[in-house]
Amino acid sequence: MIIRNAKVIICSPGRNFVTLKIETDQGVYGIGDATLNGREKAVVAYLEDHVVPLLIGRDASRIEDIWQALYRGAYWRRGPITMTAIAAVDTALWDIKAKAAGMPLYQLLGGASRNGVLVYGHANGADIAETVDQVGRYKDMGYRAIRAQSGIPGVKGAYGVGRGDMYYEPADAILPTETLWDTSSYVTFAPKLFEAIRNEHGDEIELLHDVHHRLSPIEAGRLGKSLEPYRLFWMEDCTSAENQEAFQLVRQHTVTPLAVGEIFNSIHDCRELIQNQLIDYIRATVVHAGGITHMRQIAGLAALYQVRTGCHGATDLSPASMGAALHFDLWVPNFGIQEYMRHSEETDAVFPHSYNFEDGYLHPGETPGIGVDIDEKLAAKYPYQPRQLPIARLRDGTMWNW
Ligand code: CS2
Ligand code: MG
């Protein structure tokens, strides 16, 4: 099966998505997500100028060889732009292979290891009372695991409380919106939030929380310790993970489980974290970490150390990402949980898909391939809208991690 054409489709049905579509001489095509929130056009250029010309004429069935050619062949390795572009190619090729085999992708990977994929939704509120209510709303929808984020008194634009109701979306302006960050206010507030949630909703529901890289290691250790009575499923990105050793300090101080890695793009970003058992869940995902091919390596390493997967699944990852991730999740032996932020109706219409939610679990469906398509005509009605993610500053104006 020879690759005849590959094209990059950019659309904005409520938010921006970049999709790679690879077509073969036998009429079978595959798609892969290539969206890198706020930096979309860099991946588009990488794909169009440097990757697509290399694909034409190649045998679409040689997924591993194409992966190696794009990774080694560029000489310049790793990084979010490169690895997102490689991921898009890889996902599209797995989609093609599974379609050609007449199987849903999870069957090709080794078959289902579970009946459904446990997912967590996002409960966001302006204050504690509203967040407690939102947790109830997600419980009513059938979720068994819920991430809770709340506005903090006196902190403008606290992370996780975006515009939108079901479709929280932080990339909101052409130039970055400025938000405030105040560690002292946050670390005293967060335990009160989870105390209120447990008081109202009991012990059974799984609760998650995202710190979004904002604390120092010792502050993260303290926060984790103060959250222990509320038995979090995980505390995410509690400190910046550029220095993987930093997590030793966090680990020494808390038994709250740790999740890291939505911004990782290769196994080298998490090797020490995994080998030293400094984390419990690895958040790397198909679209930003080199596709299904590389995610299998990351999960394989993680399995040796009892680290489980917890793939990123925010709205800035397209349904093509979600579909691919769900096949991976259904198969991967050391699965933990999958993030599931629902897409807008416009997005769902542009990307018809076979995955479905029931009783707190998602299933990728039985459609051959990744089970997600793109309606190009409809996509063309939603042109690209330049948008960037916010930034955060401390009270004195110092630039901080958003
Ligand atoms: C977040 C993301 O879902 C999460 O855990 O950290 O929403 C993240 O902020 C966005 O993906 C950034 O594009
Ligand atoms: Mg996160």
Nearest CA to ligand 1 atom 6: 212
27 CA distance to ligand 1 middle (Å): 36
Q: What is the pLDDT of residues 229-251, one digit of tens each?
A: 999 999 999 999 999 999 999 99
Distance CA(98)–CA(234), nearest Å, equals 34
Share of the chain above pLDDT 70, in %: 99
The dihedral through the CA atoms of 263, 267, 56, 63 has a sign that is: negative
φ, ψ dihedrals at 371, nearest 5°: 80, 20
170 CA distance to ligand 1 middle (Å): 8
Mutual angle of helices 63-73 and 80-101, in 10-degree steps: 170
| pLDDT given for residue 18 in this prediction | 99
| pLDDT given for residue 364 in this prediction | 98
Q: What is the pLDDT of residues 104-139, one digit of tens each?
A: 999 999 999 999 999 999 999 999 999 999 999 999
Q: Which atom of ligand 1 is nearest to the CA of 159?
A: 9
Residue 171 has a CB neighbour count (10 Å cut-off) of 20
Between strands 117-125 and 361-363, the pairing is antiparallel
Ligand showing the shortest atom-to-Cα distance for residue 15:
1
In the chain, domain spans: 3-104, 108-367
Distance CA(307)–CA(109), nearest Å, equals 20
Q: 3-104 adopts what CATH topology?
A: Enolase-like; domain 1 (3.30.390)
Secondary structure (3-state) at 119: strand
Residues 6-29: what's their mean pLDDT? 98
Give residue 164's pLDDT band: very low, low, confident or very high (50, 70, 90): low
263 CA distance to ligand 2 middle (Å): 8
Give residue 96's pLDDT band: very low, low, confident or very high (50, 70, 90): very high
- To test the pocket of ligand 1, the residue of 285, 311, 312 to mutate (highest count of ligand atoms within 8 Å of its CB) is 312
Would the CATH topology of 3-104 be identical to that of 108-367?
A: no
- Name 166's Cβ contacts closer than 8 Å, sequence gap at least 6: 342
339 in ligand 1 pocket by Cβ < 6 Å?
yes
Nearest CA to ligand 1 atom 7: 314
| pLDDT given for residue 163 in this prediction | 66
Q: What is the pLDDT of residues 290-318, one digit of tens each?
A: 999 999 999 999 999 999 999 999 999 99
As a 3-state breakdown, the chain gives helix, strand, coil percent values, each rounded to 5, of 40, 20, 40
40 in ligand 1 pocket by Cβ < 6 Å?
no
- To test the pocket of ligand 1, the residue of 18, 210, 240 to mutate (highest count of ligand atoms within 8 Å of its CB) is 210
Looking at the predicted structure, is the pLDDT value of residue 165 above 90?
no
Looking at the predicted structure, is the pLDDT value of residue 98 above 70?
yes
pTM reported for the whole predicted model: 0.97
Length of the chain counted residue by residue: 402
Give the CA distances from residue 28 to residues 1, 3, 92, 104, 383, in Å, rounded to whole numbers and listed in that order: 9, 10, 11, 14, 26
Class of domain 108-367: alpha beta
Starting at the edge strand that comes first in sequence, how are the strands of the sheet with 17-24 ordered? 3-11, 17-24, 29-33
| pLDDT given for residue 363 in this prediction | 98
Looking at the predicted structure, is the pLDDT value of residue 225 above 80?
yes
With tokens 């045998």, the residue in question is 59
Alpha helices in 21-127 (DSSP H): 40-45, 52-55, 63-73, 80-101, 105-109
Nearest CA to ligand 1 atom 3: 314
Ligand showing the shortest atom-to-Cα distance for residue 159:
1
Nearest CA to ligand 1 atom 8: 314
Looking at the predicted structure, is the pLDDT value of residue 7 above 90?
yes
Give residue 158's pLDDT band: very low, low, confident or very high (50, 70, 90): confident
φ, ψ dihedrals at 339, nearest 5°: -75, 140
Share of the chain above pLDDT 90, in %: 96
Residues 41-47: what's their mean pLDDT? 98
Q: Could you list the active site residues?
A: 159, 212
DSSP states of 275-312? HTT--SEE---TTTTTHHHHHHHHHHHHHHTT-EEEE-
Looking at the predicted structure, is the pLDDT value of residue 166 above 90?
no
CB 354 within 8 A of CB 135: no
How many Å is the Cα radius of gyration of the chain? 20
Give residue 335's pLDDT band: very low, low, confident or very high (50, 70, 90): very high
Give residue 159's pLDDT band: very low, low, confident or very high (50, 70, 90): confident
